[in-house]
Homo-oligomer: A and B are copies of this chain.
Amino acid sequence: MSEVMDGLPDIEQIRTAATRIAPHARVTPVLRSATLDALSGAELYFKCEHLQRGGAFKFRGACNAVWALSDAQAAHGVVTHSSGNHGNALALAAATRGIAAHVVVPEGAVRAKVEAIERAGAILHRCAPTQAAREAMAAEVQGRTGAVMVHPYADTRVMAGQGTLALELLQQAAGLDALITPVGGGGLASGVAIAAHAIDAGLALFGAEPQGADDAARSLAQGRRVTTIVPDTICDGLRALIGESNLEALRIHRVELITVSDAETVAAMQLIWSELKQVVEVSSATVLAAILQQRERFAGRRVGVVITGGNVDLQALPW
């Protein structure tokens, strides 16, 4: 099974994903803070996916992809090239089904993340730190083992899995007016947009993007996918270029992008740590940074705020 599967999921696929991952994924809590409400002038409902298995929302998509396979497909395992939260999530998800997870890891990847992927039971495949080498190695593993490729975001099953987060959040926090997620490759933003609008077409959708990796904002503005950007941001989880179908979802669902500086993001990260008492990674703080930067757009609204991950190197905090 090597055909590309990156069409947008519909709400039924997202509901199916929710049922499929329910035995394995956590229902993550929603936290609030009177201080952050006062600072923003809005009512903020923080959806805590850093408390998801593996410390990131990525487990939802990976788990859906793994359990969507037929037994015959699953027997060959899964493969991806991601040295970050998706690689870890796929390893954890594969373990829930007892199948092999092959993870292609470029030389120079963050040691702590690679160790976590190995602890989760993945088979590591090292390669040179280029996109071409990663894809070649993944294709080689795929050809040799028959493992199914699970792309981090340009994958229908992955988008559907990430969308389950919105179903959950809209049940936990009734009457939201708006919803904001970080935007990297767009797997989360697209899945969430589809799920959220299926439930409430009037919901205002926002995406937060680092100024140093604002390809999605530029792509939406220019009406075509901008792929010439060289990411320069401390938000390591948001450096991926947005996928073609992911971008299409943002356009269809009128997701408004807000770009934030790394300094704004780090300040917001400290607020989340000190006020919500939650250890979240820097990419997760872009959403609060966007809300505080564009106070007048959010003031008076009930806003769902997706916290994406909490895998932080405590020895190298960005302040």
Contact = CB atoms under 8 A, between A and B. Distances in A.
Interface of A: 29, 31, 50-51, 55, 270, 273-274, 277-280, 310, 312, 314-315, 317, 319
Contacts of A51: 31, 277
A274 B279 contact: yes
A55 to B, nearest CB: 7
Contacts of A270: 314
Of A270, A278, A312, A319, chain B has the most CB atoms within 10 Å of the CB of: A278
Given A315-B319, A319-B315, A277 B279 contact: yes
Nearest to A31: B51
Contacts of A31: 51
A307 to B, nearest CB: 10
A314 B277 contact: no
Contacts of A274: 279, 312, 314
A312 B275 CA distance: 10
Prevailing SS type, chain A contact patch: loop
One complex includes copies of this chain to the number of: 2
A273 B319 contact: no
Given A50-B277, A273-B279, A277-B278, 6 more contacts: A270-B314, A278-B278, A279-B279, A314-B319, A315-B319, A317-B317
Contact of A55 (B277, B315, B317): B277
A317 B279 CA distance: 14
A274 B113 CA distance: 12
Nearest to A270: B314
A315 to B, nearest CB: 7
A280 B273 CA distance: 10
A317 B312 CA distance: 15
A28 B55 CA distance: 21
Nearest to A280: B277
Nearest to A33: B51
A27 to B, nearest CB: 12
A119 B309 CA distance: 31
Nearest to A307: B277
Contacts of A312: 273-274
A51 B55 CA distance: 19
A55 B31 CA distance: 13
